Structure 1
Amino acid sequence: MKLGPRVIKTGIAVTLALYICSVLNLESAVFAGIAAIFTIQPSIYRTWKQVWNQAQTNILGAIFAFLGLYFLGNDPFSIGLVIIILISISLKLKMGETISLTVVTVLAIMSAPGNDWLFALNRFIVTFIGMAIALLVNIFVYPPNYKKNYVNKINEIFQDFSILMRTAISDEMTEKSFKEQMEQLENDIFQLEEQFMLFDEEREKMSKINNMDVREIVVFKQMFKSLQHGYMVLEDIDSIYFTSKPTPEENRLFDQHLEYLIKYHELFLLKYDGKIKMDLPSLEDEFLKQTEVFLEKVMKSYLENHKIQMTVIGASVYHYAFQLDRLNTLVEQYMKKSH
């Protein structure tokens, strides 16, 4: 079982929140732990945003809770009525993301025995301690290295993707294994997109703290698009290629060109890592030209055999090659300007 940084940080935040409340002799420390759990997010910016949003809704919730405690008391029906009103107002104010902790705050305050105002206030303070601890832990404990995590994820996905691409035409993998690998690849690409959005959001919102190069962000986005278009090629091959009953010559044509593209995809990623010489003409010249030659052969096969599926796959392969060519251009521009 692999424990990610977020899991570890959540555990640390809960521990610290409970410990600090015990040191300060604050009762109902469990609410601090609950607040810490709700507050921890996958990035520093989102954690700060969560704290800010929760602070607003919690203050609103506390106001309603104290008013309800004063006018209605703390019987179950009164608590339920206040929660219904609060949820309705929170949704109206577009604060739905923080409803859960706000409801916990209302329960914490209104469940004070005998309308004990100091006890209710204590629980409100405890909740804020949990949120503050979560933010500090996310900043100082295992601070996320977005660039390293993203590049590692790209390389991991590419390794799995390249195996599928190299065996797609030869049909060497069992159907069950291929389907499982495709589902995993689809899930990984979806997670990669979320990771990129997180990365880009952090760069935009926290630019004064994390000074990230915008050109590198563009390269990262193109890395994702290249994998995404490669996955589309695999989908097209899986769904329509074999229905055309390809000849051995057609299989060789597609297999060889996909191998060619995978080779250069890997080289372009290695170029970003600084492991490939920048002045190699073979990485720049003839790349799209080779794909154009490939398309001409595909069209010739279509005219001879009337296989429309081949042209669809050929167009898909061309789009993938175009994204790779753009990736190469962006990587070179970034590397030349940053060195």
Structure 2
Amino acid sequence: MFIGARTIKTGIAVTTTLFLCNLFHIEPASFAVITAVVNMQPSVSQSLNNAWQQIGVHLLAATLALFIGILIGANPVSIGAIVIVLILICNWIGWSGGIVLGIVSIIFILDSPPESFLNHALSRSLSIFVGLGVALLINRVLAPPRYKAKLLDALQSLLFNSSAFFLESLHTFIQAGSLTSYQKLDPQELIIQLDDLTMIYEHAREEITIEDNPPIIERLLEICRGFIERGQSITQMTAQRVERRQTTYSEAELQEISEQFQGIMNVLSVGHGKLTELIRTLRLSLTEKKRSGFYTEDISYWESFDKAIDEWNRQVSGVFYLRALMEVSVVATELRWAERRTKTVLNLIDKQYNSKQKTRHT
């Protein structure tokens, strides 16, 4: 079982906090430990942001609790009322992430015995600052996880695998007329890979700068998801097409494909080749940091596809052929989507390259 860096850091933070509390007789130690764990964030900057927020929330909670405790005293109504006030103020200021610990602070402080109320409140305040200090120190001393490099590597891998899955699904549909059986491709590993990458991206957001071009990263995530989902759709139609042909046609008829329908498949095959080249260019642009040029939609290609569809429609009729037409149309739509999205990313990369060149010359 793999033990991550954050797990180890949290264990060290708990041990250090308890040791300091025992050494300096700070009570309650449990509250200090809870504070340290809550503020053990995936990165230094996130821990800093959360810690300052927790400090502000605790100071606010302590002030409100002391005010109510001294003037009114602790009772269910006063505690409930001050919790509502704390939540409203925190939401208004933008400190919603520290509300829970602030509520705990109020309860801890107002739960103190009346005869030692002030001492109890100050002790609680000290314990939370110890926890915060330990969390910040551990995150500073121990190198935090670096998610950006991991994100970019994983994104390259997923782009390669998901695009290969989509291209293979498309190729198999085009060649389905010669298939006697078909086992659908299983994208489960790709789905798991995508989910893991999405989680990494959430952690890496604060490490990503303008120079990394966040829109490109988001577009790549979108296109990877599309390759997987749309590839699944194509494989499903391929399985249905093969099964339909097997149950409807005789052995001799299975070998016959009309010239017009084969023309449609040929046009799709050309589109498959064009998309393969586009994806190859995209991979090279990302790995070698080279400009790819500006791309526009290939209108002439889609006009040739429409022409092939029209020629086939003039030769056939009936519900059976209508289903085949719908399948071909869906596959063509998925192909067009992939072409457009890939060109969009390539154009973003080209735009980024041009911007860098202009910056260097100015």
TM-score tier by shorter-chain length is 0.7 to 0.9
Alpha-carbon shift at residue 171 of structure 1 (Å): 5.0
1:177 offset after TM fit, Å? 2.5
CA contact (8 A) 1:192 1:224 kept: no
Shift of 1:239: 3.9
CA distance in structure 1 between the partners assigned to 2:119 and 2:136 by the alignment: 26
After the TM superposition, which parts of structure 1 deviate over 6 Å for at least 4 consecutive aligned residues? Answer: 334-338
Contact 1:65–1:106 (CA under 8 A) maintained in structure 2 = yes
The Cα offsets for residues 36-83 of structure 1, whole Å up to 9 and x where unpaired, read as: 122222333322221222212111100122233324444566544433
Change (3 A) 1:169 1:10: same
Normalised to the residue count of structure 2, the TM-score between the two structures is 0.70
User: Any idea what the Cα deviations from partners look like across 1:261-282, whole Å, max 9, x if unmatched?
Assistant: 333333223213xxxxx6xxxx
Q: Cα deviation per residue 1:116-151 (whole Å; 9 max; x = unaligned)?
A: 222321111111121122122223312343542332
Instruction: Quote the Cα distance in structure 1 between the aligned partners of 2:59 and 2:123.
Output: 14
User: Which residue of 2 is the match for residue 209 of structure 1?
Assistant: none
Question: Structure 1 residues 12, 292: closer, same or farther in 2, change over 3 A?
Answer: farther
Residues 155, 12 of structure 1: alpha-carbon distance in 2 compared, 3 angstrom cutoff: farther
Whether contact under 8 Å (2:33, 2:131) holds in the other structure is yes
- The 2-side partners of 1:82 and 1:324 are apart by 52
In the TM superposition, 1:55-204 aligns within 5 A as 55-74=55-74, 78-116=78-116, 117-170=118-171, 175=184, 177-178=186-187, 180-181=188-189, 183-184=191-192, 186-188=194-196, 190-191=198-199, 193-195=201-203, 197-200=205-208, 203=209
Structure 1 residues 186-219: Cα deviation after superposition (integer angstroms, max 9, x where no partner): 534543553453224xx4xxxxxxxxxx4x322x
Decide whether the 8 Å contact of 1:39 with 1:134 is kept in 2: yes
Which of 205, 212, 218 is matched with 1:217 structurally?
212
Gaps of 5+ in 1: 204-213, 273-277
Residues in 2 aligned to 1:123 and 1:95: alpha-carbon distance in whole angstroms: 20
Q: Does 1:7 pair with 2:7?
A: yes
Point out the structure with max Rg over C-alpha. Answer: 2
Counterpart position of 1:232? 226
| Residue 317 of structure 2 corresponds to residue 309 of structure 1 | no
| Mapped contact 2:184–2:235 kept (Cα < 8 A) | no
Among 286, 309, 323, which residue is 2:344 paired with? 323
Distance, in Å, in 1 between the alignment partners of 2:355 and 2:199 is: 25
Provide the alpha-carbon RMSD of the alignment: 3.7
Indicate if the aligned counterparts of 1:298 and 1:314 stay in contact, CA closer than 8 A. no
* Correspondent of 1:298 among 284, 288, 305: 305
Q: How many residues align?
A: 313
Q: 1:54 to 1:301 in 2, by over 3 A?
A: farther
Contact 2:267 2:304 in 1 (8 A): no
The answer as to whether partners of 1:87 and 1:99 remain within 8 angstroms in 2 is yes
- In structure 2, relative to structure 1, the CA distance for the partners of 1:325 and 1:229 (3 Å cut) is same
2:282 maps to what in 1? 265
Aligned to 1:207: none
Distance in structure 2 (CA, Å) of the matches to 1:237 and 1:262:
15
Question: What is residue 210 of structure 1 aligned with on the other side?
Answer: none
Instruction: State the distance in 1 between where 2:111 and 2:280 align.
Output: 65
Give me the identity figure in percent. Answer: 23
Matched AA of 2:223:
H
